[in-house]
Structure 1
Amino acid sequence: MTDIIIITGGSKGIGKALVEKYAQENYNVYSLARSIVNLENTTQISVDLSNLKETENSFLMLFDEFKKMQISSITLINNAGRLGTVSSLENIESEDIAKTIQLNTTTPLILSSLFIKHTKSLACKKQIISISSGAARSAYQGWSIYCTSKAAIDMMTKTIALEQSELKNGIKCMAIYPGVVDTNMQTQIRNTSENDFKNVDRFKELKTNNELYTSEFVANQIFKIDNEDLLENGDIIDIRNF
């Protein structure tokens, strides 16, 4: 029997740490990301997740492969995302708005839809875990697109959970806030001017004071939460509470 996990954005940051953690725990790990990097015991699929047709085709190819397997559990982790331009809404180009919403919201919706459709016949443990953010609940000046996209992920989680809860063979759907993590996104935030992001000094202080989580810590916590079944269907939790 095989435990399968599909992780988007698995080539860097939290996604890469998740890939490495689940691979160490003997899962069949599939990473969907633009870049191919040095990862052991992982099937890497090079895909531009902002290209919807390419993403859909790559995902469907995976499920063709899964038909040959005896599956004991299967999980999709919607991790890939981008901060986008940090500035007041009127200063953000329409193309950048569309790209951020597409990667942070549209792609997870499409992949979740395909995941649900193509796992209907499976009676095993089935999950969708989405990496959300405290920005889904707290507005930050300069982050209008990012906050909006993550709020949408939370509502997607709640709605899927509601729909699936009525099914005999339904999927468990959760979202996790990883806290403030030392990734490339944090570097981008710290390099933003105060005119575009008034809270930038707070994020610089977190780095200076060594108060950022590592990607590895977050991945270990998410694995623990998953492996010990600590979440109920529809839960949206902050990792700092565990």
Structure 2
Amino acid sequence: MNIVVITGGSKGIGKALAKMYASKHYKVYTLSRSIINIQNVTQIAVDLSEFSEVKTQFYMLLDELKKLTITSITLINNAGRLGSIGNIENSTPDDIAKTIQLNTTTPMVLSSMFINFTKQLTCKKQLINISSGAAVKPYEGWSVYCTSKAAIDMFTKTIAIEQENSKNGVKCMSLYPGVVDTCMQAQIRNTPESDFKNLQRFIDLKENDQLYTTDYVAEVIYKIDTENLLPNGAIFDIRNL
């Protein structure tokens, strides 16, 4: 059985990924706060910014997976948040902590649990972290978001090295989906220019129909996953495919 686990699977890229993998007859599990109407997907309601809840729910899912005959398994760390937009001194401690928890800490925790769970499996095992070009390009007003994504990229490269030297290692990569028509983009466009100097660029992208659709991004990610297009440890912008 081919299995995929997707965080943030109730909207945006995550929802499109869940639909894509389900259409290809994968056993699809999603973890997100919301439960939505989506066929052939097992949805687990969990606040991914709450550490104890994440750990408990993921352990329960892994216990379920032990009962299955697994022929391939992929974890896609997709869930994320932009957080408040503005200079760091205007961000609250709670917002900073929540953004780092969801964008960085939770993917690291889930990846650790996933790798440990799959140690004895000899099938295809893959970790895909959804990162951002903001990992390498600083944007005024996005200091926490940029930092969280830069951390995910370094995490990807580091565990890729670890897994290269492990028996039955997990392949790991980090993908930049480009600028996608999601709720996060709507949040950006509704930000006062005084808090985000690059505002007009994102407004223009929307008005000029230059945003990727979530379905297109999901299709590309599925292709990268299933056709083995990238090496272990790759940090890749899907616009370059």
Partner of 2:178: 179
Q: CA deviation at 1:239?
A: 0.5
Partner of 2:86: 87
Identity of aligned residues (%): 65
Letter in 2 for 1:187: A
Letter in 1 for 2:22: A
- The superposition leaves residues 26-77 of structure 1 with CA deviations (integer Å, 9 ceiling, x where unpaired) of 0000000000001100000000111111111111111111111110001100
RMSD, matched Cα: 0.5
SS at match of 1:71: coil
In structure 2, the gaps of 5 or more residues are: none
SS at match of 2:236: strand
Query: Within 5 A, what are the aligned runs for 1:95-114?
Result: 95-114=94-113
Q: What is the CA–CA distance in structure 2 between the aligned matches of 1:176 and 1:237, rounded to whole Å?
A: 5
Partner of 1:233: 232
Q: CA deviation at 1:168?
A: 2.1
Partner of 2:61: 62
Partner of 2:157: 158
Letter in 1 for 2:49: S
Q: What is the CA–CA distance in structure 1 between the aligned matches of 2:146 and 2:154, rounded to whole Å?
A: 13
Partner of 1:15: 14
In structure 1, the gaps of 5 or more residues are: none
Partner of 1:137: 136
Q: What is the CA–CA distance in structure 2 between the aligned matches of 1:231 and 1:205, rounded to whole Å?
A: 32
SS at match of 2:159: helix
Q: How does the TM-score come out when normalised to structure 1?
A: 0.99
SS at match of 2:71: strand
Letter in 1 for 2:109: I
- The superposition leaves residues 173-201 of structure 1 with CA deviations (integer Å, 9 ceiling, x where unpaired) of 00100000000000000011111000000
Query: Within 5 A, what are the aligned runs for 1:204-215?
Result: 204-215=203-214
Q: What is the CA–CA distance in structure 2 between the aligned matches of 1:127 and 1:176, rounded to whole Å?
A: 13
Q: What is the CA–CA distance in structure 2 between the aligned matches of 1:5 and 1:132, rounded to whole Å?
A: 18
Letter in 1 for 2:21: Y
SS at match of 1:30: strand
Instruction: State how many pairs are aligned.
Output: 241
Letter in 1 for 2:198: N
- Structure 1 outlier segments of 4+, above 2 Å: none
Partner of 2:222: 223
Q: What is the CA–CA distance in structure 2 between the aligned matches of 1:92 and 1:119, rounded to whole Å?
A: 39
Q: What is the CA–CA distance in structure 1 between the aligned matches of 2:4 and 2:56, rounded to whole Å?
A: 18
1:30 aligns with 2:54: no
Q: What is the CA–CA distance in structure 1 between the aligned matches of 2:9 and 2:238, rounded to whole Å?
A: 19
